[in-house]
Amino acid sequence: MMRTLRKAGVLGMNDRNASFILDSNPRARYPLADDKVLTKRLALAHKIPTPALYHVVEHHGDIKGFEGKLNEHKEFALKPSRGSGGNGIVLIKDRIKGGFVKQSGEVIPHADFIYHISGILSGIYSLGGHEDKAIFEALIYPDPVFAAVTYGGVPDIRIIVFRGVPVMGMVRLPTKASDGKANLHQGAIGAGIEIKSGKTLTAVHRSKVITHHPDTGNPVSGIQVPDWRKMLHMAAQVYEMTGLGYMGIDLIIDKERGPLLLELNARPGLAIQLANRVGLRGRLEKVCQAPQEIFEAPEKRVSWALENF
């Protein structure tokens, strides 16, 4: 079985770690991807658009004054800075006397909201359980392009970048099973995206290849991703921004602002291969053999990727 997969160019976790992540990602630079506050500040310095940052709570003693720091913002997303898989995120659409209204309409009492912030700071949702920071940022209203194949929540786009070259992409589509989250492990769909055209391909759901969204019944293939070249360019820029050579770049498409950098992953998963029905290894090896001049600038790497993938 493993020999067959290798023949097909499918990259396994051990191979990914030993052959690509170990050599390409200096451990000292991992925080630039793992910490959303650092990622956001770096992105702003490199003029890569991200959701607006309203406030950061770093210490338990700072929780008391967080509402004053939000000023007039009644809607926002609260996130753990070092969280993963969407855990700990709360989306607020209004502030009312005595509490906060979630996007679902549920009201969170003020005391419960404070308790949640405290939990974030204590590291309940962070990688490795270490102390964390709580981020308040702008709420995203997604472009309707994926509305027919989304059940609640906000779809996001994952692009695998190797040595600054975008090599594979997919869109993660929320489902009823994933509770509106764009997380494959929780039941979201991953639909492959052809690098050359920016159009969706077939999809994977719970490790099975599918053609239609399980909740809406609509086909997932053939959807043109808007601003695709711009998204590839943003993903390619992250190489210079972080110095990390193998990464998953997560973006969202806001209906007003267009593509925004959401977060980075220095250890991206491998299900993207199933979604695209092609292995990563062949593409990564092709990048290793690419002409040296393409590595001079993000735009050159994007042009090369569009021609080769």
* 36-45 helix and 228-242 helix, angle to the nearest 10 degrees: 110
User: What is the pLDDT averaged over residues 81-89?
Assistant: 88
Residue 40: per-residue pLDDT: 96
Residue 4: per-residue pLDDT: 52
- Condensed to tens digits (0 to 9), the pLDDT of residues 169-196 reads 999 999 999 888 898 988 999 999 999 9
- Using CA atoms, how far apart are residues 266 and 28, in angstroms rounded to an integer? 12
Name the helix (H) or strand (E) containing 66.
helix 66-69
Domain boundaries, the chain: 2-35+143-308, 52-137
- Condensed to tens digits (0 to 9), the pLDDT of residues 132-169 reads 999 999 999 999 999 999 998 899 999 999 999 999 99
Whether 287 has a pLDDT exceeding 50, the answer reads yes
DSSP at 255: T
Annotate 119-164 with DSSP letters as a single string: HHHHTTTBGGG----EEEEPPP-B-GGGGGG--SS--EEEEEEETT
* CA-atom Rg of the chain in angstroms: 19
Confidence of residue 86 (pLDDT cuts 50, 70, 90): confident
Look up residue 272 and give its amino acid. Answer: I
Residue 232: per-residue pLDDT: 99
- Which homologous superfamily is 2-35+143-308 in? ATP-grasp fold, B domain (3.30.470.20)
Whether 10 has a pLDDT exceeding 80, the answer reads yes
Most confident by average pLDDT, 71-80, 96-105, 229-238: 229-238
How is the beta sheet containing 90-96 ordered, strand by strand? 53-57, 134-137, 76-80, 90-96, 99-102, 107-109
Residue 72: per-residue pLDDT: 84
Residue 1: per-residue pLDDT: 39
- Using CA atoms, how far apart are residues 93 and 105, in angstroms rounded to an integer? 8
Whether 265 has a pLDDT exceeding 50, the answer reads yes
pLDDT over 70, % of the chain:
97
Whether 230 has a pLDDT exceeding 90, the answer reads yes
- Using CA atoms, how far apart are residues 131 and 243, in angstroms rounded to an integer? 25
- Using CA atoms, how far apart are residues 29 and 47, in angstroms rounded to an integer? 20
Confidence of residue 3 (pLDDT cuts 50, 70, 90): low
Query: If we measure between CA atoms, which residue out of 191, 223, 226 comes closest to residue 205?
Result: 191
- Residue 11: count other Cβ atoms within 10 Å of its Cβ: 21
Residue 2: per-residue pLDDT: 44
Residue 180: per-residue pLDDT: 83
Residue 267: per-residue pLDDT: 94
Over the chain, what is the mean pLDDT? 93
Look up residue 148 and give its amino acid. Answer: A
Whether 235 has a pLDDT exceeding 90, the answer reads yes
- Using CA atoms, how far apart are residues 91 and 116, in angstroms rounded to an integer? 13
Query: If we measure between CA atoms, which residue out of 144, 3, 116 comes closest to residue 60?
Result: 116
pLDDT over 90, % of the chain:
85
Residue 273: per-residue pLDDT: 95
What are the tokens at 47?
Answer: 């003029």
* 298-308 helix and 228-242 helix, angle to the nearest 10 degrees: 130
Residue 153: per-residue pLDDT: 87
Residue 84: per-residue pLDDT: 81
- Using CA atoms, how far apart are residues 95 and 76, in angstroms rounded to an integer? 10
Question: Interior CA angle at 50 toward 245 and 39, to 5°?
Answer: 45
